[in-house]
Structure 1
Amino acid sequence: MSLVILAHPKFDKSFANKTIVEELRNSNIDIEMRDIHELYPDYKVDVKAEQEALLRHKTIVFQYPFYWYSMPAILKHWFDVVLEYQFAYGSKGDKLKGKNFLASFTVGSSQNSYTALGFQHFRVHEFCKHLEQTAYHIQMNYIDPIYFYGTSLAAGYTEDEIRANARQHVKKLIKKLLELG
């Protein structure tokens, strides 16, 4: 069974992430879903409850929209308080050792904008180094992120295109989760 940490501040308005979550819930994959925006709208994270959830699972999926070249604030806050000293790192902090760390996110802009000559100037994976280092620091197995582009209506994509791409994304995510066991 995998744990999905959902971090979307405007989930009710999402086409991509909402489709991903619905498809995951309707799949035959055994998952526990934790919507941290719903659980902690005041950002007062129940650290022990989150740590217990992490301990129950071999694979942890972080599902979110790509915000300002990173993650939404609540997910960063979640990392700050849940992955604490002597739980996730430190001389006794090996509780997550050997677990799988998988980011699954949506990117509003086109793939062409994430090139050296594009509007964003860097490829998406270059913005993921902090995730990779976090996984290594807490002794988790870093799995290359799964993501797709073109999830913004403002960027000219239609609801149908976004949902269709989200369904393809879920197929890749499910395949990876099955591979990881």
Structure 2
Amino acid sequence: MALIILGHPNYKNSFANRTVIEELQKWDLTIEIRNIHHLYPDYKIDIKAEQEALLKHQTIVFQYPFYWYNMPAILKLWFDEVFAYQFAYGSQGDKLKGKNFVPSFTVGSSEISYNVLGFQHFRVYEFCKNLEQTALFAQMNYIDPIYFHGTSLAAGYTETDIKNNAKEHARKLIKRLAELE
């Protein structure tokens, strides 16, 4: 059973992340989805509830849009508060040890823009080092991110293309979840 921590601050208007979640829900998967922006619109996270959800699952997927080379603020706050001392790290902080940490996100601009000669100057994986370190610090199994490019209407992508790519992303995520069971 997997836990999906959905960290999209404008989920109802999302083409990409909403399609990914809708596709996951169509499959016969045992998953729990926690839309943290919906649960905590005031950004007052129920730490105990979130930690209890983490404890019930072997695989935790973090689903979100790639914002400013990182995660949205609500998800960063969630990590800051939920991955607490003596829970996720510290002398007794081994509660997440051995669990799978799966980043799953959408990237607005093109793949070609994310390289040394592109206007982003770095590959997406280079922006994920903080995720990897967080997982390792919490003694979790870091699974390489699943993501796709071209999710921004402003960058010229169509709603149809975005949704089709999101469906393919969901299939990849489902395959990864099956491999981790």
TM-score (norm. length: structure 1): 0.99
Give the whole-Å Cα distance in 2 for the aligned partners of 1:111 and 1:140.
Answer: 28
Task: Show the counterpart of 1:165.
Answer: 165
Determine the C-alpha separation between the residues in 2 that align with 1:12 and 1:87. Answer: 32
5+ long unaligned stretches in structure 2:
none
Q: Which runs of 4+ in 1 moved over 6 A?
A: none
C-alpha displacement at 1:89, in angstroms?
Answer: 0.3
Map residues 1-150 of structure 1 onto 2, 5 A cutoff.
1-150=1-150
Instruction: Return the letter of the residue paired with 2:47.
Output: V
Cα distance in 1 for residues equivalent to 2:24 and 2:59: 15
RMSD: 0.4
Distance 2:14 2:85 in 1: 34
Paired position in structure 2 for 1:177: 177
Letter in 1 for 2:56: R
Distance of 1:79 and 1:8 partners within structure 2:
14
- Rounded to whole Å, the distance in 2 between the matches of 1:23 and 1:29 is 11
Task: State the TM-score, normalized to the length of structure 2.
Answer: 0.99
What count of residue pairs does the alignment treat as equivalent?
181
Identical pairs, percent: 71
Instruction: Give, in angstroms, the shift of residue 45 of structure 1.
Output: 0.3
Please give the alpha-carbon distance, in whole angstroms, between the structure 2 residues aligned to 1:121 and 1:13.
29
